[in-house]
Amino acid sequence: MKRTNLLFTLSLLFMLVAAVRVSARERYNFNSDWKLQVGDIKGADGRGFKDNGWQRVTLPHAFNEDEAFKVPIKQLTDTVAWYRKHFRLPREAKGKKVFVEFEGLRMGADFYLNGHHLGYHENGVMAVGLDLTPYINYGGENVIAVRVDNNWAYRERATGQRFQWNDSNFNANYGGIPKNVWLHVADNVYQTLPLYSNLGTTGVYIYATDIDVASRKAVINAESEVRNESKRPVSIGYSVEVVDADGNTVGTFGREPVSVAPGATVTLTASDTVDNLHFWSWGYGYLYDVKTTLLVNGKAADQVVTRTGFRKTRFGNGMIWLNDRVLQMKGYAQRTSNEWPGVGLSVPPWMSDYSNGMLIDHNANFFRWMHVTAWKQDAESCDRVGVMQMLPAGDAERDVEGRRWGQRTELMRDMIIYFRNHPSVIFYESGNESISRDHMIEMRDIRDKYDPHGGRAIGSREMLDIREAEYGGEMLYVNKSEHHPMVQTEYCRDEGLRKYWDDWSYPYHKHGDGPLYRNADASAYNQNQDQLAIEMVRRWYDFYRERPGMGRRVNSGGAKIIFSDTQTHSRGAENYRRSGVVDPLRIPKDAYYAHKVMWDGWVDVENHSSYIIGHWNYKPGVVKPVYVVSTGDSVQLFVNGKPQEMPKRDYEFLYTFSNVKWEPGVIEAVSYDKDGKETSRTSKKTVGEPKSLKLTLMQGPEGTYADGADIAMVQVEVVDENGNRCPLANDMVSFTLEGPAEWRGGMAQGPDNYALAKELPVECGITRVLVRSGFEPGKVKLTATATGYAPETVEFNTIPVEVEHGLSKFNPSAALKPRLDRGETPLTPSYYDKKVDVKVKSAKAGYANDKVANSYDDNELSEWRNDGRLETAWITYELERPAEIDDICVKLTGWRQRSYPLEIYAGDELVWSGDTDRSLGYVHLNARPVRSRFITIKLKGSAADSDAFGQIVEVVEPKAGELDLFKAEGGDKTNHELRIVEIEFLETLRK
């Protein structure tokens, strides 16, 4: 601890003890007892307006929640709705400051208190704060009214400009107040709130510096923006207490008092070294409470508790470090709405933890929220479960200028201030499409002003050649770098319903069968589960083989679009997107388990496992392929103990057994390493005939609260006599609900997706339904019936919640514990070098020697090309040293569509000849190793075009990256054209 003198230290300790007993800051749950009415109602802003007949709701609550997954995104109702709330303050609040915090509204909102207009908020994304103090009635009833307009075409009042992110392709329009609301009561000398929107304040900022992971220590820094709204100068001291997850104080420090004039705003800071820290990590959501207390004229006057975590990051050399360990990003580009059937995004915190925690369950490590920033509840959830976040502010799919760019920078500023204490936030995204160098610098300056010490990289999609970006990465293709890391921002758009297993299983959906999309084949968006899982393996392989340890230029992973099926733009048969690896009720598809196998490691695979895609219930006579996803070097398959023919291995992890005859019993896959030692095994068995329904209650750790907003989820399965789920069951199930609860239902393939229906089918033997608690506690009983089965019932009692005059101290996330599943960051390496890159010293070509360096400049927006004549289609590279090059890794222009016939020579010796594969980025040419300093790549004939990934398209027609989308001038004329974007010469390290 830093010491100034003994007197100050004793004084500080005394004041800290006092601070424990006295805290003038109160934070109330302000979600209860709102009234809702849809329509623009004259006079609804007035204090005396009669709202007796309005709908009673508990926030968060979108007024159009009934439409969640029922209608296409463009048909979500956009109109004006009013929310009103009557409340009274406790007596001890008299004369204090009163603020309200809305975590977010959609879209534009006007706020009124007791008939007075407080202000408005328009961006539809970020939290907003309002000072209620001037118009508050301390001794009686208050009425707050909010008018919300969620028009798809909403325009900014001052400029008439639309907001780029209010887009009906990707930003589901759950209108009204779909997020939480809090009321803050503080003394007139107080720490501000991190609510720049409207209030213009920045709040508390906690961060760590001088982090020593191995020694478990760091300097903890606290900064608080403080205002003196009293009428006289005051002496303000500042103390900080760091409390660990077990409630133990692990650090106390502070600063000497300063004099602050009336009306003045100052920033108070303090710091000290804290030992024995637990660093936040992937799957290790260790959090601390940092209590910052103002000591006004020697008395504790205001305390703010900031829940945060400490971790160390680094970005460079094409890689990402977390707590000194290299990490390849493995996760999802998730729609920020993160919605559920029947309720949209407005779910209780336990459901956020359940959904986000599923990433940890299957070895994913990050969310890249799409287009708009996350809801604070999701950010807090990611903190707890140990999932990293890439946060955008707000955008669409292009750079913009003028006022539209101004809207984006303002939202970035407000977002950074609001989220900078969340350890799970690792990246700030400046654009869902490439932005200019000047715009990147401007965004970086905003980060440096408001979060200079948070260890968060700021970048944008693409940024392939802009070094001012701290990370980049294309949307659909594979990039590499030796400078800022490349993380693919959304790959693999393929869609498929969870309902469809394969071509041999009920309901016998032919793989790819569905309507055209914009008059084009849409088979990639109507896939069966088995092929969707295979596509996950195929796509991840492109990133895995370019991981750290595979040369100088590497890829840092990617975000598969999306995690859970979402009510946004789709291309398949349904009216919502089915690209998720789980369905909207978070029931996994087989693709989920494929990722679980491949992703179990920070970079290299660290724990071996296997998974058999599909089920083992077929009709006699069926002969079909069986697919096994495995980390082993070989796999053997057994049917009832009988070995099957050896498989074909593709994409490192996929083993295909082509003709397996079904017979009832057990199918088992056993995986081995190169030495024949078993590494993992997995099996599936034939399930018996359906015998009964099985109901499983899913709820928060303490049960379901009677607050009008909590949700209990009930899982419904059709099982055999041994309780095993029947994978082909599709029975229609009817539900009856009794007690103080509201039916919110589930969904399935069918009319209106069975939204809110009380009769719906299980799919593949399973479904789930949602029940929302009422306003009063009591017994809730849900009964499920289906033809041929006995009725099944689940019962639970809802827990009372104390609400007094519209205020509550109930915090629905208080009982949620951090997940520490994966343990602290290992101190061991996460990968071992398997290949080394031998640098190019110089090169000469048959044409355009002045541009030949473009082929090895670590810039994927540049290329070398010849003039279309065969005699000029060659380059000879001189390496920095003689080497036995056995892997030529090359990105060739038009890589998705064009195959090049090449010859490669080491000196004068031919070491490779053939046609290059089409890919999503790089191809590897496995050459015969011949020691040489000179490597020549030469075209031996005309290139051939044929799209190998035919349905990779954008929502908006792209202009970004002409090389990758094969739009370069003259790109349709192959002739004898050789075009190289990047080439690397790799030498495998021998053990």
Q: Calculate the CA dihedral of residues 383, 386, 392, 394 and round it to 10 degrees.
A: -50
CA–CA dist 381, 367 (Å, integer): 12
Q: Which amino acid is at 504?
A: W
pLDDT at 278 over 90: yes
The position carrying tokens 């109507």 is: 526
If 0-12 CB within 10 Å is exposed, 13-18 middle and 19+ buried, where does residue 419 land? buried
Q: In the chain, what is the greatest distance between 2 CA atoms, to the nearest angstrom?
A: 94
Q: Calculate the CA dihedral of residues 959, 960, 961, 963 and round it to 10 degrees.
A: -10
The percentage of residues in the chain with a pLDDT greater than 90, rounded to a whole number, is: 92
Tokens of 274: 């804290």
pLDDT at 359 over 90: yes
The position carrying tokens 């959090």 is: 287
Please tell me which residue, 965 or 97, carries the higher pLDDT value: 97
Dihedral sign, Cα of residue 381, residue 386, residue 387, residue 392? positive
Q: Calculate the CA dihedral of residues 686, 689, 690, 695 and round it to 10 degrees.
A: -40
Tokens of 877: 């590279």
Helix and strand numbers (H, E) in the chain are 7, 59
> In degrees, to the nearest 5, what angle opens at C-alpha 324 toward C-alphas 319 and 327?
40
Helix H, strand E, coil C: the string for 511-567 is: CCCCCCECCECCHHHCECHHHHHHHHHHHHHHHHCCCCCCCCCECCEEEEECCECEC
Q: Is the peptide bond before 257 cis (omega within 30 degrees of 0)?
A: no
* pLDDT score at 526: 96
Judged by DSSP in three states, 134 sits in helix
927 closest CA partner among 860, 856, 984, 865: 984
Q: What is the pLDDT of residues 607-653, one digit of tens each?
A: 999 999 999 999 999 999 999 999 999 999 999 999 999 999 999 99
* pLDDT score at 351: 98
Q: What is the distance between the terminal CA atoms of the chain, rounded to a whole angstrom?
A: 49
Average pLDDT rounded to a whole number, residues 732-745? 98
* pLDDT score at 957: 36
Least confident of 17-26, 375-384, 859-868, 943-952: 17-26
Q: Which amino acid is at 711?
A: I
Q: Which residues contact 808 (CB under 8 A, 6 or more apart)?
A: 28, 29, 31, 32, 707, 801, 802
pLDDT at 139 over 60: yes
Q: Is the peptide bond before 799 cis (omega within 30 degrees of 0)?
A: no
Q: What is the pLDDT of residues 901-947, one digit of tens each?
A: 999 999 999 999 999 998 889 999 999 999 999 999 999 988 787 77
Average pLDDT rounded to a whole number, residues 439-456? 98
pLDDT band at 896 (very low <50, low <70, confident <90, very high): confident
Residue 424: other Cβ atoms inside 10 A: 28
DSSP 759-783: EEE-BTTEEEEEEEE-SS--EEEEE
CA–CA dist 964, 947 (Å, integer): 12
Identify the H or E element spanning 291.
strand 288-296
Residues tagged active-site: 490
Judged by DSSP in three states, 383 sits in helix
pLDDT at 458 over 70: yes
* pLDDT score at 327: 98
Tokens of 113: 């208190």
Q: Are 340 and 585 in contact (CB under 8 A)?
A: yes
Q: Are 351 and 397 in contact (CB under 8 A)?
A: no
Q: Is the peptide bond before 562 cis (omega within 30 degrees of 0)?
A: yes
Q: How many CA atoms lie within 13 A of 870 on its CB side?
A: 8
Q: What is the pLDDT of residues 212-264, one digit of tens each?
A: 999 999 999 999 999 999 999 999 999 999 999 999 999 999 999 999 999 99
Residue 231: other Cβ atoms inside 10 A: 8
Tokens of 606: 């660290």
CA–CA dist 553, 120 (Å, integer): 49
pLDDT band at 11 (very low <50, low <70, confident <90, very high): low
188 closest CA partner among 135, 260, 119, 114: 260
Q: Are 573 and 514 in contact (CB under 8 A)?
A: yes
Q: Are 937 and 979 in contact (CB under 8 A)?
A: no
Q: Are 186 and 96 in contact (CB under 8 A)?
A: yes
Dihedral sign, Cα of residue 969, residue 974, residue 978, residue 981? positive
pLDDT at 375 over 50: yes
Pairing between strand 979-988 and 864-865?
Answer: antiparallel
Q: Are 311 and 216 in contact (CB under 8 A)?
A: no
pLDDT at 18 over 80: no
CA–CA dist 532, 590 (Å, integer): 8
Q: Which residues contact 689 (CB under 8 A, 6 or more apart)?
A: 720, 721, 726
* pLDDT score at 9: 47
* pLDDT score at 918: 87
66 closest CA partner among 340, 378, 420, 397: 340
Average pLDDT rounded to a whole number, residues 597-602? 98
* pLDDT score at 963: 61
Least confident of 332-336, 446-450, 568-572, 801-805: 568-572
Q: How many CA atoms lie within 13 A of 975 on its CB side?
A: 15
Q: Are 389 and 369 in contact (CB under 8 A)?
A: yes
Q: Are 852 and 321 in contact (CB under 8 A)?
A: no
Q: How many CA atoms lie within 13 A of 662 on its CB side?
A: 19
List strands edge to edge, sheet with 366-370: 457-459, 425-429, 388-392, 366-370, 329-335, 557-561, 488-491
The position carrying tokens 């399935």 is: 748
Number of residues that this document lists for the chain: 991
693 closest CA partner among 758, 587, 584, 787: 787
Identify the H or E element spanning 840.
strand 840-845
Beta strand extents in 181-276 (DSSP E only)? 181-186, 189-191, 204-212, 217-228, 234-243, 249-260, 265-274
pLDDT at 702 over 90: yes
287 closest CA partner among 380, 192, 378: 380
* pLDDT score at 663: 97
Q: What is the pLDDT of residues 820-857, one digit of tens each?
A: 999 999 999 999 999 999 999 999 999 999 999 999 99
Q: Which residues contact 909 (CB under 8 A, 6 or more apart)?
A: 930, 932
CA–CA distances in Å: residue 954 to residues 475, 569, 573, 968: 9, 11, 18, 18
pLDDT at 954 over 60: no
CA–CA dist 805, 395 (Å, integer): 40
Residue 428: other Cβ atoms inside 10 A: 29
Tokens of 932: 């040489």
pLDDT band at 721 (very low <50, low <70, confident <90, very high): very high
Query: Rounded mean pLDDT of the chain?
Result: 94
CA–CA distances in Å: residue 25 to residues 235, 251, 293: 18, 22, 10
* pLDDT score at 952: 60
* pLDDT score at 946: 74
pTM above 0.85, yes or no: yes
Pairing between strand 366-370 and 388-392?
Answer: parallel
pLDDT at 965 over 50: no
| DSSP 8-state class, residue 407 | H
Q: Which residues contact 297 (CB under 8 A, 6 or more apart)?
A: 234, 235
697 closest CA partner among 710, 713, 680: 713
pLDDT at 894 over 90: no
| DSSP 8-state class, residue 903 | E
The position carrying tokens 């019936």 is: 785
